[in-house]
Amino acid sequence: MAKIRARARAVDMLGRQQIAGIQNALAELFKNAHDAYASHVVADYFEEGGPGDSGFIVIRDNGVGMTKLDFEDKWLVLGTESKTEEQRSKIYRPRDVQVRSITGEKGIGRLAIALLGRVMLVLTRAEREDGLHDLVAAVIHWGLFEVPGLALDEVEIPVKTFPKDQIPSQEDVIELCKKLCQCAENIRKLHTDSFLDDVIRDIENFEPDPASFDAFFAARDSENLSLLNGGRGTHFFIGPCNPSIRAELVKEEKDGDYGFRKQLLGFYDSVFGKLESPLISASFRRWRPGDLIGEDLLDPNFFFTREDESKRSDHWLEGTVDDYGQFSGNLRVYENYYPGLSIPWGENRGARTKCGEFSVKFGYVMGNPSESMVKADEFKKINTKLDFIGGIYVYRDGVRILPYGDPMFDWLEIEKRRNKGAGYYFFAYRRMFGAIQLSRENNSDLVEKAGREGFQSNEAYRQFREILINILLNLTAEFFRRGGSNTEIFEQVQADFRKRSAALEKQQKQSATKRKNFANALGSFVNEVETGLPESAIANLRKLTHSRMEAASVIADQDKAAAALIRAEREAVAKLGELRNNYTCKKPSGVALTKALAREWEGYLATKDRLESELFKPFENEIASTLGEVANQARIYVDQRKRLEDRIRSLADDRKKELAEVSKQANATAIDTRQTVFQITEKARFALDQAIRNIQTDLNRTDLNSMSPVQIEELRMKWEEELTDIEARHRDALIAAKDMLASLAENLRSSDGEEPAQIMEALEQRMMALEEQADEDFEMVQLGLAVAIINHEFAASIKSVRRSIQDLGQISRTSSGLKPLYESIRHNFEHLDGHLNLFTPLQRRLHRNAQRIDGPKIRNYVLDVFQNRIERHKFNIECTDGFLSAKIECYPSTLYPAVINLIDNAMYWLSNIKGNRSIRLDADSEGIVVSNNGPEIDPRDAERIFERGFSRRPSGRGLGLFISAKALQAESMNLSLGKPPLGHHVAFKITIPNIKVDL
């Protein structure tokens, strides 16, 4: 009898050569952790770790681990039956942990490790009913399984156990590697393959230190995954890594997408299923050189959330498909619900399906924001996710099946159909997010391919796809395609969204144009004022007026001379009026101003007042006085009544002319509005008349005698619906126009024409303020998160640094050469460590109750922060008796940063002056005053200094005073400019309601 024998290369072909990609290999190891009842599995990739900086990856879980017997008789055996459901009851399950379905099927998933790297150290400590077992360690080089002609049993794997309270040292790992090298040498004697030299070199260079890794991770893990101190689980140390890992990560970073992580996100379902928290969390952390914290590429926030379902979808479908292929569930189209929706599938002709029963849940977001009911800021968030990870996922017993959900894998051919007609087929794959929920119990005929590239194309999978495609086609035809039986609401809402968006866009464009023109006018005004054009124009007008009046004074005829003088005055006043108009900017009506434009407007008003008081008004008085002087010198009698009447008549004519022009424009607008309303009404009448004529024509062409009563009734209902639809559509538009005009007329009557523009301006101003506030809030959140992360990671890392410096101190005692280096490192570290302690009062979560703070505490805090700068720049920090006696009840996280910011700003401006650099801390019954003898604050900056983005520092971001003022305001305190004490030029006052000072 002949026997089938397996070569060692079978391991390579079933593992490295068969698994589809890096992500599939990682997913297989994550699944193994799930089957071992782990609650956490973490893959840490060190980009320049391992031999030759080629990368090193550590994969750890806190599952039940493997005993030595398990490792040798199951893990090292291909195609084990432990993955079958019959064997599930034999697998150890920790107490109080629910039974999990087994995700593996063939007992070869562990071979996927070979795709991640060439050499692997495995450490596993088992927990069983009798407690913790000894740790099992083994080293494998997957290149040994590539040797042609090598029998599987010729490869020997060195295995060693360690007691319960130990993990291998680096020397222990090297010893295991030596044994594996000996195995490779024995193989080379029988198989003279040149690449075995590379295998041996890899093994000799493979020297991970599990104890160092354990200490490193202990200071950074949020969960305990150590194999010490009662820990259990399985750890894999793999290197040198497959270069594809780094290449894919670099490509993802370069492309700015989720190219690497998209197949690993959402490994376990806690969004679309019933569980709100996953049974197992999976992480992949990328560590670059110098990183204090690894970048977790699988952060759950990168994936979809339950909030996305409820707040960030325009349409939502949820239901189940029974084992006959019939769907029943609920549908939401915008805000309209269709409960009890049924979608039939008749291809199986009443027989049970092979694919079995499953549930369906997915949402859809319109591609155009103007057609979506999702809020603008929320739309941006969900749109980014859809671009990166949009699609329909598949989960079996909560674990994701690859590659379903990958935006590049359109397994339901949604985009293929859409390319034939976007309007006809509606759905776009990248605009969808959701999942199909399967179970091993109900869907056992859906079998994954060996390479983990989806399901095998058997009859069950073909039915599975056809049912889902049928659901999408039915939804499109009935709810989203023109002419469908339930498309009226969808089309109406879309039309309303488009109209509203178009109207808003038009209004925003008009406002933007008006603001731009207004800004240009203000800019021209400033330029002309700064270049002295108004003064030059007045000087020229003065010369002209004097010459005209002098010429009038020499006229012999007294009456003609007086008339010439009055005419010269009138023309001078008219020219002055033109000059005033040239330097007058009118604020656009009904348009809100940005903060910057509002500041320019305020500056314009101040400059305009200055021109009026210092230039225009004095010259106007000068005209009258010049006329009097010339008349007296020439002994000309000027009739003052006639002069006054002439001035008033001239002014009245000018005002009438201006008012007539504006009235003409208003009447023209009213006539245009009237004509527009008339055209709309005529269009509505014509549409209805045309519909009636079309129906009459159809009626005349129809042979009613040849039709059944049912057909006649259907025809009647069709025609009536057409008439009703046309009438209702135009009636609603006319009612809306009528209501708008009526509201406008009422506002005009009650406010003499001012109120409508004021209302529009107020609404637009509020909208702009809210948008600016949202931007400010977002930036503040980002800054807060950055500080929190820095503090957390610094605190975690500093523990090991402290220990290392203590060890270095012990060594330096026996080495005089090391002592100066140790003293320098210790001195600088103590300074750095002091700054870590300064983070403590800034942590709001540690001090959510108000605390008692006194002056000495604030002083000490300031001195700790600025000690080096005070000594380096010779700053003099003075604290008055009033400040030292001050007692305050407040949050340290609010007051301390504000004081620090004020002193930091003072030090910056003081560093540029010579001599005494004084900063003074004072307090009175109203609050704290921080003053200094630096340069004064420009009066123009007094109001702007607390605005976000305003700074006079060359590299300043304009956030310090803004954040301090906002934070203090939120706690009923106030930051403002104060009156500087004698000898100081700048003072800031923090008003504190409950301050107590012993004066």
Amino acid making up residue 349: R
**DSSP element (H, E) containing 879:** strand 875-879
- Does the pLDDT of residue 997 top 80, yes or no? yes
DSSP string, 231-284: --EEEEEEEEEPHHHHHHHHHHHHHTS-TTGGGTTTSB-SSSSS-SS-SSEEEE
Confidence of residue 842 (pLDDT cuts 50, 70, 90): very low
Kindly state the tokens that stand for 891. Answer: 């949050």
Q: Which one, of 764, 745, 765, lies nearest residue 755 by Cα? A: 745
Q: Which helix (H) or strand (E) holds 896?
A: helix 892-910
CB 684, CB 733: distance < 8 Å: yes
Q: Which residues pair with 888 in a beta bridge?
A: 853
Q: Are residues 406 and 536 in the same domain?
A: no
Query: DSSP secondary-structure letter at 92?
Result: -
**847 pLDDT tier (thresholds 50, 70, 90):** very low
Q: Write down the residue that tokens 């009055």 correspond to.
A: 566
Q: Are residues 417 and 555 in the same domain?
A: no
C-alpha span between 4 and 9 (Å, rounded)? 14
- Are residues 859 and 826 both part of a single domain? no
- CA–CA dist 501, 508 (Å, integer): 10
Q: What is the CATH number of the domain that holds 935?
A: 3.30.565.10
Q: Are 463 and 353 in contact (CB under 8 A)?
A: yes
Residue 11 has pLDDT above 90, yes or no: no
329 and 356 both lie in a single domain: yes
Query: ∠ CA 5-9-15 to the nearest 5 degrees?
Result: 115
822 and 926 assigned to the same domain: no
**Residue 841 above 80 pLDDT?**
no
Strand order in the sheet with 986-991: 875-879, 917-923, 927-932, 986-991, 974-977
Two tokens at 922? Answer: 């004072």
Mean pLDDT check: name the lowest of 58-67, 462-471, 534-543: 534-543
Q: Residue 902 in contact with residue 977, Cβ under 8 Å?
A: no
Within a domain: 710:
no
Task: With CA atoms as reference, report the closest residue to 383 among 313, 328, 442, 446.
Answer: 313
**Which segment of 304-308, 409-413, 664-668, 985-989 scores lowest on mean pLDDT?**
664-668
Cα–Cα dist 942/932, whole Å: 16
Torsion sign across C-alpha atoms 275, 281, 284, 285: positive
Q: For the chain, how big is the Rg over CA atoms in Å?
A: 41
- Pairing between strand 295-296 and 399-400? unpaired
On whether residue 705 sits in a domain, the answer given is no
467-478 pLDDT tens trace: 999 999 999 988
Report yes or no on 852 lying in a domain: yes
- Last residue in a domain, options 193, 223, 242: 242
891 vs 894: CA distance, rounded Å: 5
CB 534 within 8 A of CB 583: yes
Task: Examine the pLDDT at 796 and tell me if it is beyond 60.
Answer: no
The answer, yes or no, to whether residue 831 has pLDDT greater than 90, is no
Confidence grade of residue 158 (pLDDT, cut at 50, 70, 90): very high
Per-residue pLDDT, averaged over 175-202, amounts to 83
- Does residue 196 have a pLDDT over 50? yes
Which of helix, strand or coil describes residue 459?
Answer: helix
Report the DSSP beta bridge partners of residue 137. 123, 160
**825 lies in the same domain as 844:** no
Average pLDDT of span 921-943: 87
Residues 481, 624: one domain?
A: no
What's the whole-number average pLDDT of the chain? 79
368 plus 468 within the same structural domain: yes
**pLDDT for residue 178:** 92
- What pairs with residue 61 in β-bridges? 41
Would you say residue 702 lies in a domain? no
> What confidence score (pLDDT) does residue 684 get?
67
Q: Has residue 791 got a pLDDT over 60? A: no
What's the gap between Cα 919 and its chain centre? Answer: 40
pLDDT for 639 beyond 60: no
Instruction: Give the residue numbers spanning the domain of 13.
Output: 9-38+60-242
789 three-state secondary structure: helix
Domain check: are 883 and 857 in the same one?
yes
Asked if residue 75 is part of any domain, the answer here is yes
The number of folded domains in the chain is 5
| Rounded-to-10 torsion of CA 242, 248, 250, 252 | -160
DSSP annotation of 8 reads: T
| Phi and psi angles of residue 637, each rounded to the nearest 5 degrees, phi first | -85, 125
pLDDT at 103: 81
Confidence of residue 280 (pLDDT cuts 50, 70, 90): very high
The predicted structure's pLDDT at residue 634: 47
396 plus 333 within the same structural domain:
yes
Cα–Cα dist 206/57, whole Å:
13
In this prediction, residue 432 carries a pLDDT of 93
Answer whether residue 89 shows pLDDT above 80.
Answer: no
Comparing CA positions, the residue from 124, 142, 209, 211 lying closest to residue 180 is 142
The answer to whether residue 631 sits within a structural domain is yes
Pick from 135-149, 285-299, 714-728, 789-803: least confident:
789-803
Asked whether the predicted pLDDT for residue 844 surpasses 50, the reply is no
pLDDT at res. 803: 62
Tally Cβ neighbours within 10 Å of residue 780.
16
Cis-peptide, bond into residue 756, ω within 30° of zero: no
CA–CA distance, 216 with 293 (Å, rounded to integer): 11
What is the number of other CB atoms lying within 10 angstroms of the CB of residue 73? 13
Q: Answer whether the bond into residue 278 is a cis peptide, omega within 30°.
A: no
- Whether residue 965 is predicted with pLDDT greater than 70 in this model: the reply is yes
Which of 139-148, 223-232, 633-642, 750-759 holds the top average pLDDT?
223-232
Q: Is the pLDDT of residue 394 over 90?
A: yes
Distance in angstroms (rounded) separating the CA atoms of residues 294 and 299:
11
| pLDDT for position 97 | 84
Residues 785-813 have a mean pLDDT of: 60
Looking at the predicted structure, is the pLDDT value of residue 129 above 60?
yes
810 with 843, same domain: the answer is no
Using the 3D structure, point to which of 464, 486, 508 is the last residue of a domain: 486
Q: Does residue 670 surpass a pLDDT of 70?
A: no
Which residues lie below 8 Å from residue 21, measured CB to CB, with a gap of 6+? 115, 244, 263
Among 84-98, 112-126, 702-716, 781-795, the range scoring the smallest mean pLDDT is: 781-795
Neighbours of 651 (CB within 10 A): 14
> Residue 798 is which amino acid?
I
- Say whether 134 sits in a helix, a strand or coil: strand
How far is residue 76's CA from residue 74's CA, in Å, rounded to a whole number?
Answer: 6
Residue 133 backbone phi and psi in degrees, to 5: -105, 175
Q: What is the mean pLDDT of residues 667-675?
A: 68
Q: Is the pLDDT of residue 177 over 90?
A: yes
Are 429 and 362 spatial neighbours (Cβ–Cβ below 8 Å)?
A: no
Percentage with pLDDT > 70 across the chain: 75
Q: Which of 190, 211, 242 is the last residue of a domain?
A: 242
pLDDT for the residue numbered 652: 64
- Does position 548 have pLDDT exceeding 70, yes or no? yes
More confident residue, 885 or 565: 885
Q: Work out the average pLDDT over 443-460.
A: 84
In angstroms, what CA-CA distances link 141 with 61, 116, 138? 22, 12, 10
Give yes or no: residues 102 and 175 share one domain.
yes
Q: Which residue has the higher pLDDT, 761 or 703?
A: 703
Output phi, psi for 428, to 5 deg: -120, 135
Q: Where does the pLDDT of residue 806 fall: very low under 50, low under 70, confident under 90, or very high at 90 and above? A: low
Return contacts of 654-659, CB within 8 angstroms, 24+ apart. 654/574, 654/577
Residue 922 has pLDDT above 70, yes or no: yes
Structure tokens at 2: 């002949």
Of 759-763, 770-774, 879-883, 918-922, where does mean pLDDT reach its minimum?
759-763
Sequence-distant (6+) residues with CB within 8 A of 75 are 66, 110
The two structure tokens encoding residue 646? 């002439």
Give dist(CA 757, CA 763) in Å, integer.
10
CB 946 within 8 A of CB 961: yes
Q: Is residue 728 part of a domain?
A: no
Do 21 and 98 touch, CB atoms closer than 8 A? Answer: no
Average pLDDT estimate for 398-412? 88
Residue 361 domain flag: yes
pLDDT at 7: 62
The better pLDDT of the pair 96, 686 is held by: 96
In the prediction, which pLDDT does 637 show? 47
Q: Which of 176-180, 456-460, 558-562 has the lowest mean pLDDT?
A: 558-562
